[in-house]
A and B are shown apart, each in its own frame.
Chain A
Amino acid sequence: MAWDWDKLQQKRQSGSGGNASPPPNVDEVLEKIKNVKKKIPGGVPIIIALVILFFIGSSSIFTVAVDEVGVIQRFGKYVRTTPPGLNFKLPASIEKVTKVKVKRVEKEEFGFRTLRAGVRTRYAAASAYENESLMLTGDLNVAIVPWIVQYRIKDPYLYLFKVRNVRTTLRDLSESTMRLVVGDRSINEVISKRDEIAVYAKELLQKELDEAETGIQVKTIEMKKTNVPEPVQPSFNEVNQAVQEKERMVYQANEAYNKVIPAAKGEAEKTIKAAEGYALDRVNRSKGDAARFLSIYNEYTKAKDITRRRLYLEAMQEIFPKMGDKYIVDSDQKNLLPLLNLGKSQGGK
């Protein structure tokens, strides 16, 4: 079989030399067949039969991956859906299989595109897709609303046969649905109540998709950051700032309030306690004074004259040493004023 090797070698060279030249292996195969024909008697029909058999066999066995199902048509007519795994069908041109990925969740992006997903996902410039995301809100303002629709094929039969271009249909319906929902909401709601919009839009979109018999199930609609168009953004921020400012003013006022009022309450408490103290003091003192007086009085009633004298003299004894100048004037002496030089003590001071 040395010639075979030579040919192979040649083929390799010509193959590496350029692909444009016609493949030489046609002759080779023909020659090979002729060669085999000579060896096996009545070989041609058998070979043809084998080829046909192989063809039939290979086209009637197929595998379906885990995330797919196989949809089988016999002469164009849908007959059955097969589960994942190894499956059999009638040979090609009688039965045809189309594999549909029913488990995979697909994603459509509106108003932006993911350039490269990853830890730090990169997005294409949003302005390029502004047409998709620019919308009129219910209060006739303009909002930028980017979103994502995640979906999977729910019914492969409908998906394959009922709508010609399911993906464009999905995109068109998503856009019109989102605009319908946003068109019924104010700019504030569009910015602050994204979840509510997503839930409602999902419901509406699913209804539309079912009506159109697309066989698609919407998994989620996820709203990206909704915003107002760029020229308007500063004024929206201004509102946020004003809200902050308002809160700040209120906090400051409250701070001043809190600084004063608890202290004043304490002060008030103190005043009241002090008054209570005064009251106790006053009552106790009066009680004490009264008790003292009554005790003295009780004894006084028993010996009035002598007690009076005693009290008087005792008091004098206490008072006299404490006093400054003392003058004793005879009761017969008249006109005593000149004697007293009251001004002297005053002047000497």
Chain B
Amino acid sequence: MKTKALIGIIIVFLIVLFSSAYVVDETEQVIITQFGKSIGEPKTKPNLYFKIPLIQQANYFPKNLLEWDGDPGQVPTLDKTFIWVDTFARWKIVDPLKFFQTVNNVVGAMARLDDILDPAVRNLITSYPLMETVRMTNREMDTFETGSGQQLEGQEHRQLGEITTGRQEIIKRILEQAQPKLQAFGIQLADVKIKRLNYVEQVRKSVYGRMIAERRQIAEKFRSEGEGEARKIEGNRERELKRITSEAYMKAQKIKGLADGEATLIYAKAYNKDPEFYSFVKSLDVYKNTMDKESSLVLSTDSDFLEYIKGYRKSK
């Protein structure tokens, strides 16, 4: 009997112990309520705690970073382009008491976040041109393949323009707009981000059309560039050809001229000793080389050659 009583006492003690002790995890924080009224400071540090069993109740709230995924929807930008925006945010409960009193639990908080963040996102996206939401800096972009023409680049710049705000600044402003409203719920927004951003279906089609036209234009440009380049090379070829042949001709003529000159000098120097004798000798040479069977000769007996044909006497 004694042992049974002892066991009974132990069991009761254990039940009391287990129902009064509670553990707060690293990821949790707890508010103790007594008949629905909060008692004491919220327990934010992880540890083993005790409460009065049955009367007091532990309400757990997450302490770590929570997520919120926005409802993706169509939003017109300032330049009247309809885009599809999907945002997400991360938040945490910084004041569990306020949180408990105002929204009660995470599900309730999500609804409030929807109410506050969705319009904030819409507001800011609507008040900027698309460019500002897409880009973050004015980084110089390589918009066309190398060797693109000036004219095309000029067009592109005019179309796109410079950004003054940028996506990150817009996001910061969404955060700034939403944060004060969430303060009252004990919620702190870690950040809001644009997860996806795209053209809506109809706009996308026309954008594709524009992209195609743009590409065609570039393709055409490459073709004509090729044509031009080829013509240039052809022209070059012609020119080179003429230059090479004419230069060779020039050199050859110069060389020949110099040689002719030198030869003339040499001849003159030699033949000037006795021009008369030169003509005599040269004439004889020329006769030798020019007379042949075709030539007929009429000789008078007066000539030196036939001096003796009419007699042996010493002439004149």
Contacts and interface: CB of A to CB of B under 8 A. Distances in A.
Nearest to B144: A188
B263 A188 contact: no
B304 interface: yes
Interface residues of A, number: 114
B226 interface: yes
A272 B259 CA distance: 13
A141 B143 CA distance: 11
B5 interface: no
Contacts of B16: none
Given A73-B25, A252-B230, A293-B271, A283 B208 contact: no
A139 B144 CA distance: 11
B288 interface: yes
Interface in A322-337: 322-331, 336
Interface string B158-198: 00100000011000000000000000000000110111111
A123 interface: no
A248 B302 contact: no
A172 B144 contact: no
Contacts of B1: none
B141 interface: yes
A285 B99 CA distance: 121
Contacts, number: 331
A175 B195 contact: yes
B229 interface: yes
Interface in B117-166: 130-131, 134-137, 139, 141-145, 156, 160
Interface in A271-311: 271-272, 274-276, 278-283, 285-287, 289-291, 293-294, 296-297, 300, 308, 311
Contacts of B300: 328-331
B218 interface: yes
Interface residues of B, number: 118
Interface stretch (A2-10, A80-88, A225-233): A225-233
B233 A315 contact: no
A160 interface: yes
B114 interface: no
Contacts of B24: 75-76
A257 B216 contact: no
A188 to B, nearest CB: 6
Nearest to B23: A76
Contacts of A141: 207, 211
Contacts of B262: 282-283, 286
Nearest to B304: A312
A186 interface: yes
A140 to B, nearest CB: 7
B46 A294 contact: no
A175 B299 CA distance: 120
Given A162-B64, A180-B136, A326 B296 contact: yes
A336 B208 CA distance: 109
Given A138-B134, A250-B233, A311-B280, A323 B292 contact: yes
B301 A286 contact: no
Classify the secondary structure of A's interface with B: helix
A114 interface: no
Contacts of B23: 75-76
B296 A242 contact: no
Given A73-B25, A76-B23, A184-B139, A308 B280 contact: yes
B305 A163 contact: no
Nearest to B242: A264
A315 B291 CA distance: 11
B84 to A, nearest CB: 9
A323 B297 contact: yes
Contact of A290 (B65, B266, B297): B266
Given A161-B27, A327-B296, A212 B222 contact: no
B298 A327 contact: yes
B284 A272 contact: no
A133 to B, nearest CB: 10
A268 interface: yes
Given A78-B46, A264-B245, A173 B193 contact: yes
B200 to A, nearest CB: 12
Given A260-B241, A275-B253, A176 B236 contact: no
Given A245-B223, A325-B297, A330-B301, A261 B26 contact: no
Given A184-B136, A238-B219, A278 B305 contact: no
A134 interface: yes
Interface in B12-55: 23-28, 45-48
Contact of A163 (B65, B141, B196, B226): B65
B283 to A, nearest CB: 9
Closest 4 CB pairs of A and B: A246-B226, A279-B259, A268-B248, A275-B252
Interface of A: 45, 73, 75-78, 131-132, 134-142, 160-165, 168-169, 172-173, 175-176, 179-180, 183-189, 212-213, 228-229, 231-232, 234-236, 238-239, 241-243, 245-250, 252-254, 256-257, 260-261, 264-265, 267-269, 271-272, 274-276, 278-283, 285-287, 289-291, 293-294, 296-297, 300, 308, 311-313, 315-316, 318-319, 322-331, 336, 340, 342, 345
23 contacts: A76-B24, A78-B26, A140-B134, A142-B198, A142-B204, A163-B64, A183-B167, A184-B135, A186-B141, A187-B211, A229-B208, A242-B220, A243-B145, A253-B231, A254-B233, A264-B240, A268-B247, A294-B273, A296-B281, A312-B284, A327-B299, A330-B301, A330-B310
Given A160-B26, A283-B262, A290-B269, 15 more contacts: A140-B131, A140-B160, A163-B90, A168-B67, A176-B193, A243-B145, A253-B234, A254-B233, A279-B255, A282-B256, A285-B263, A312-B305, A324-B292, A324-B295, A331-B302
